Structure 1
Amino acid sequence: MVSAAIPRSFHPFDPSVVASTSVDVANSTFVMVSSKDKSYGLILSYVATHLCGNEDHRSFDFSAGKKVTSSNYLDEDEDTHNKLVAGVGLHKFSWQQHTLHCLRQEEGDPVGTGCDAIQFESLVLFAPRVQSEATLQAFIDAVVAAAEATKQGYFSISRWSIGGEYWDEGDLAKARPLASVVLPAHIKADLIADIDDFVGDDSKAFYATHGIPYKRSYLFHGVPGAGKTSLIQALAGHYGRNIYLLQPTHPKMTDDSLQTAMEQVPKKSIVVLEDIDALFTKNRRKKVEDSPLTFSGLLNALDGVGGHDGHLVVLTTNFRDQLDDALIRNGRVDVHVAFAHASPDQMADMFLAFYPRETRDRALAFADALVAALGPDRPLSTAALQHYFVTQRRSTADGAIANVDRVAIEIDARKKMAEEEADSDDDETEGDDKDDEGKDDVGANKTAP
């Protein structure tokens, strides 16, 4: 951040941009905010929603979509929202009793070519009168504090904007109760005990005394649909923390971008790196050849994440056996949490969650009936089990027990559909190969003597 304490003859902006506006540069204080500063995206969002009504504001960046940045993290029926942030140009806005200006500007030429080009940006904030640095700093601090504030039972999800290099803040959403996430009792209890210990009052001092970065890292691994995402959401609500979602497989994610993203995460957040197995093989070779992110860059970002900000870092994967040992060693990943197919106890627990007036014996009877219907060759995810209960929401407990055969029928139908799609893809591939061979033959005939 650069303030107006620098010589008045130097301006970190083009004076002609504000020459014909109400900004009196000679009698104003200005502060420059880099796009790499954690306040950058927050300021853009604030300005867009607090514009002064008598000004003509024409430049906005517009985004439409779910309230969060990954469709996995909220129910599909959540309301969509349209989000505005201040675009390139000068904007007049209000904060408390102050009237301020914000200039969003591009710096230099784009780096890269075509769709891969990245345009670096900065903001310049203006306050009337000289020596008003305190006002501008108070505004920036207030915006950051508001973003870091959390509400018990609610959370927001933010996504890293690679082009602008700032966190795109999501709206608050109501979290699912922790009790609604059905996991083996000992796994959930051990995890909660570990997090409770980490967030305890004396924990930060212990980490500082021993020179250990104040963060706790977890690897959520196991079969799809077993509750990894649901648990992350529930933990966010339970501990009053917001989620900062990173997708390191993004084709523009560089070592520097990932490091910057980690450094800008607000205090006491949950940082999630999804599908960590999709990046590198067990021998550290890239799975996506044109990905600019390196293995060492990933490790450095994980080691430096947040420093002493009390973050919970969650890596997710369906294939732990594909991860390099260095990625998940002690100190880099503290706790491994396994997610498996639904066990009989989980079946019974979920039955009671949907039919809370029933007894444990009835729940166990449901589990026995479901296990018998599934047989030995049909593993069941907790997501599929929850789907079954949703379809039975108008049925009694007796009906849910009587209809368990439908679970097996749907599993078989989905398996058959997947096999047919795979066969269709194989046929298309073979057809393409034959077309290529035919073209080669035609070419050979044309050039043969």
Structure 2
Amino acid sequence: MALGVGLTVMRQGLVLGTTALRRRMLVTLEINNKDRAYEWFLAWMSRQTALQAQNSRALAPWTRSHQLSVETTVEQRKNGSSSALFKLVAGPGTHYIQYKRAWMQVKRERETKSMQLMSGIPWETVTLTTLSRDRNLFPELLTEARDLAMRGQEGKLVIHTAWGIEWRPFGQPRLKRPIGSVVLAPGVAENIENDIKSFLDRRQWYADRGIPYRRGYLLHGPPGSGKTSFIQALAGALSYDICVLNLSERGLADDKLFHLLSNAPERSFVLIEDIDAAFNKRVQTTEDGYQSSVTFSGFLNALDGVASGEERVIFMTTNHVEKLDPALIRPGRVDLIEKIDDATPEQARILFDRFYGGRDILPSAIDKELSRRLGGIVEEELASGRRVSMAALQGLFIRNEAQDAVAQCRDLFVTRRTP
């Protein structure tokens, strides 16, 4: 009996001693998947493991991740095509890494019994454990992971989409489009760009006068005129991201809409396309007849109600401005309305010169003559009531040489009703 009691005391003492020693000699850092650093660290760890495997063929087995997870990103394009990208990261389990000659234990845990309320994603945590003397490496590691993630987005445009009540990057960051590559009618691009730059520079002016610091823009015009392309180019020129909001998305309600608009990522435009289809005569339905739970009054309150957020820039686009409810486009909700129309003779010539005048510093005499001829054709067709979109001209220039493009351009003109 005495021997049993002694062994029990020794075992408990050993457990307590080990726990005390662990607390004194080890330090842990927990990162949950609600924190942005969670994805940064997983991507950083995946890259570090790959680099170690390349630099050392005799890599010890315990430094490799034998439990992996795949993260798939699918990008669906408007033309129906899609692309998928795969990224392998450390899966749930225990892993070991070496960072600046310090060993760390990485434990990724997933809670399968409970899910996040809005998104339905399981709760996950990553716990890093190392010696207490190396605790100063945690901030360095996270900084390196953040810089690695930001480096992939440097000089690029990030598109965000709504995922439950959160904004998440959609697909890979895209190269910024030069704002001069979108050819609009004279003065249109300059007017919008000057207005938004003036707004962004007057934050304190709004605060001093008690005016909500938010701005709304409506770009309207026929399809293919360059509305969305210009917004993307403008965001790239100002180093802003774009948050695409689909009001007809299933499950989107007024409360979620309030939360999304009030918590848009910093330095981002909120883009709502085809607003006339979302709210036509104050009824929001999709093509299959499904009626969303976002109400018209809820959307208006989210734009400029008492509980609406500030420090926000919203762009809305429509092909039919005459269908919009006057309550939606009144001042305060939409501060600047600009029409992006079909091609004018000057726009057609500018686009032609950019496609076919790049062999030398200046276009050749033949290209200049073809450019003037194209402008004359556009002017004649406009006088007869026929119009052509800039997207149609661009597609023609991509497929053909200069002379063939001018010869075939009349086939693109259509009779379009103007509101």
TM-score, with structure 2 as normaliser = 0.70
Structure 2: runs of 5+ lacking an equivalent: 1-21, 51-62, 358-362
Matching residue of 1:232: 231
Matching residue of 1:387: 395
Distance 1:149 1:206, change over 3 A: farther
CA contact (8 A) 1:28 1:126 kept: no
Matching residue of 1:297: 298
User: Which of 152, 158, 161 is matched with 1:159 structurally?
Assistant: 161
Q: Distance in 1 between matches of 2:97 and 2:192?
A: 45
In the TM superposition, residue 385 of structure 1 has moved relative to its aligned partner by 1.3
Q: Distance in 1 between matches of 2:136 and 2:296?
A: 42
Matching residue of 1:330: 331
- AA aligned to 1:158 is H
Distance 1:47 1:158, change over 3 A: farther
Matching residue of 2:284: 286
Could you tell me the percent identity over the aligned residues?
27
User: SS at the partner of 1:179?
Assistant: helix
Matching residue of 2:406: 401
Matching residue of 1:190: 191
Distance 1:149 1:50, change over 3 A: closer
Q: Distance in 2 between matches of 1:43 and 1:305?
A: 34
User: SS at the partner of 1:265?
Assistant: coil
CA contact (8 A) 1:267 1:306 kept: no
Q: Distance in 2 between matches of 1:355 and 1:182?
A: 15
Matching residue of 1:103: 109
Distance 1:347 1:169, change over 3 A: closer
In the TM superposition, residue 184 of structure 1 has moved relative to its aligned partner by 0.8
In the TM superposition, residue 190 of structure 1 has moved relative to its aligned partner by 0.5
User: SS at the partner of 1:281?
Assistant: coil
Q: Distance in 1 between matches of 2:147 and 2:376?
A: 52
Q: Distance in 2 between matches of 1:389 and 1:119?
A: 47
In the TM superposition, residue 174 of structure 1 has moved relative to its aligned partner by 1.8
Q: Distance in 2 between matches of 1:372 and 1:273?
A: 35
- AA aligned to 2:220 is H
Which shifted more, 122-131 or 224-233? 122-131
Which shifted more, 53-62 or 86-95? 86-95
Verify: 1:254 aligned to 2:262, yes or no: no
- AA aligned to 2:232 is Q
Distance 1:319 1:363, change over 3 A: same
User: SS at the partner of 1:160?
Assistant: strand
Which shifted more, 180-189 or 363-372? 363-372
Q: Give deviations 1:396-440, integer Å, cap 9, x for gaps.
A: 4xx4434433434xx59xx9xxxxxxxxxxxxxxxxxxxxxxxxx
User: SS at the partner of 1:326?
Assistant: coil
Distance 1:406 1:181, change over 3 A: same
Distance 1:242 1:118, change over 3 A: closer
Verify: 1:82 aligned to 2:80, yes or no: no
Q: Distance in 2 between matches of 1:50 and 1:171?
A: 20
Q: Distance in 2 between matches of 1:240 and 1:95?
A: 36
Q: Distance in 2 between matches of 1:122 and 1:148?
A: 25
In the TM superposition, residue 150 of structure 1 has moved relative to its aligned partner by 9.1
CA contact (8 A) 1:51 1:92 kept: no
Verify: 1:307 aligned to 2:307, yes or no: no
Distance 1:143 1:269, change over 3 A: farther
User: Which of 362, 372, 380 is matched with 2:380 structurally?
Assistant: 372
Distance 1:48 1:165, change over 3 A: farther
In the TM superposition, residue 247 of structure 1 has moved relative to its aligned partner by 1.7
CA contact (8 A) 2:345 2:376 kept: yes
Distance 1:373 1:208, change over 3 A: closer
In the TM superposition, residue 145 of structure 1 has moved relative to its aligned partner by 7.4
CA contact (8 A) 1:348 1:367 kept: yes
Distance 1:251 1:40, change over 3 A: farther
CA contact (8 A) 1:344 1:367 kept: yes
Say what the alpha-carbon RMSD is for the aligned residues.
4.1
Structure 1: runs of 5+ lacking an equivalent: 1-23, 112-116, 416-449
Q: Distance in 1 between matches of 2:255 and 2:284?
A: 17
In the TM superposition, residue 268 of structure 1 has moved relative to its aligned partner by 0.9
